Every structure is written in C-alpha cells, then in structure tokens.
Amino acid sequence: MWTFIKLVFLASLCYFPIVLPNVLRRKSHSLDFRYRQLRKAVKFIFPALKIDFHLHHEEMLHTNEPFLIVSNHHSYLDPFLMIYLMDHPVRFVAKKEIRSYPIFGDATASIDALFLDRKNIRSQIKTLHSMKESMARKETRWVIYPEGTRNKTYSNPMLPFKAGSFKHAMESKTTILPMVAYGFHRPLNPKIRMKRYPVQIDFLDPITPKMYEGKTSQEVADMVQSLIQARSYQMIEDDKQLVKALTSQKRKS
C-alpha cells in the first residue's frame, strides 16, 4: 500500500508541470516532444517501484521501426512500463474507462492514445480504423494488449487473443513485434512485499508481412499467443531463481 501511495504522490507532482500542459497543447506540440516530456515524468516515478529489470533482446528498445507491439497484460501500469523502456514514441489502444482515471488517463491521452468503447461496435471500428491509417502512414509504433483486459491470474494461461487486435496491422502490412513481460504485477500488490521486484521483459522475433501472408487474423492471433505463452511459462520458471537470489541477498545484508 505504501508503494501505491508513493506512486500517486510522485505522479501528482508531475501532473501540473508535465501531464496537463501536454494534454492542453496537443495541437501545438509534436508527439515527439510530448512523449519526451511524459517519459521524463515516468522515469522520475519508476524508481519508487523498486524494480530490477531483466531485459532480453534490448536492441528492440531503441529502434523507431513502426511495429505493432503486442504483449501480455498483467498490470494497469503496463503502458507506462513501455514508455519507461522505449526511446521513441509509442501510442496505445486502451479501453475507454482508462481515459477517466485521474492523472493516468490524461497521461495516456497526452501522447495520442486511442480509447475503445467496448459497448459501441461502430465506435470501435472507427477507432481501430484510425490506428490502421496511422500504421499505413508508418508514423510511429503502436502497442495493443490482445487479451483485451488484464489477466489477474498471472501464472495461469493467458486469456484468448482477440483476432481484431491483428486485423488492421495485417491490412496495413505492419510488422508485428511480440513482447513478453513477467513480474510487473508485484510492485503494487499489497500482499507481496520484497526489497526489490524482478521484472523480466523479452522481445521475440518480429513477424513480418511475408510471414503472415495468406493467414487469417485469427490464425495470426493464435500463433502470436502460442509464442508469447511459451516464453511466459519460461519466465515463470526463471522467476523462481530470480526471487531466490534476491531473498538470499536480503539474508546476507
């Protein structure tokens, strides 16, 4: 609980000098500028989470190739993890309810996130069409969580990946970059208390348009889910050793 309170306090400190001006000046400041400003705020806040990162294929963090990044989803802070890691701007597709969250809703809106109304099919189609047009123009990278909501079971199998998450990337011939994360659910869980929290992140091999040519969006969704699920299970096993090592260090200190 203390970590959550500290996180909210630090986020509040960043709201008026960074987040709110980003929202109010979206038309006058470029996405690059607004993203850099928000990333400064995220980098200021994240040390409070006491995370030990274990990154694999780190080179993918520094490219500005316009991927569609698809990832498993455990924490409502997952988009800010992506901002913390990535140098170049990323945009998000998020559920409409996120927009009303204090501070965090404005933060995601400030970098041109798109918000899906899951109760309005016509609105969803329009929103995803906007993402498709952006991907066709190769403007920036997009991030989507194809489970559609947070998987709160963490170690259990992922929720089914939604075919619609891949449809517009395929139509715009965008390369898909699978990302896998494990451990980021722990820092804000009041039932888990650790001196440091190991978080593993891996970028799998990109899936190019040639690789998914001739496949349906459901086939691609199933393929990507299988790849991410297999790597996630590996991470869960590796996590046991990481936690054991941290526990050993704590005893020695």
Q: Which residues of 183-203 are buried (b: 16+ CB within 10 A; e: fewer)?
A: bbbbbbeeeeeeeebbbbbbb
Q: Which residues contact 242 (CB under 8 A, 6 or more apart)?
A: 52, 54, 183, 198, 200
Compute the distance between CA of residue 79 and CA of residue 118 in angstroms, rounded to an integer.
19
Q: What is the DSSP secondary structure assignment for residue 140, as one 8-state letter? A: S
Q: Using a CB cutoff of 8 Å and minimum separation of 24, what contacts does 154-157 make? A: 154/74, 154/182, 154/185, 155/236, 157/229
- Domains of the chain by start residue, with CATH: 2-252 (3.40.1130)
pTM above 0.85, yes or no: yes
For 193-229, the pLDDT digits (tens) are 888 999 999 999 999 999 999 999 999 999 999 999 9
Tens digit of each residue's pLDDT (9 = 90 or more) over 121-155: 888 888 989 999 999 999 899 999 999 888 988 87
SS3 of 189-227: CCCCCCCCEEEEEEECCCECHHHHCCCCHHHHHHHHHHH
53-97: pLDDT as tens digits: 999 999 998 888 899 999 999 998 999 999 999 999 999 998 899
Token pair of 89 as six digits? 């701007």
Through-space distance between the first and last CA atoms of the chain, rounded to whole angstroms: 24
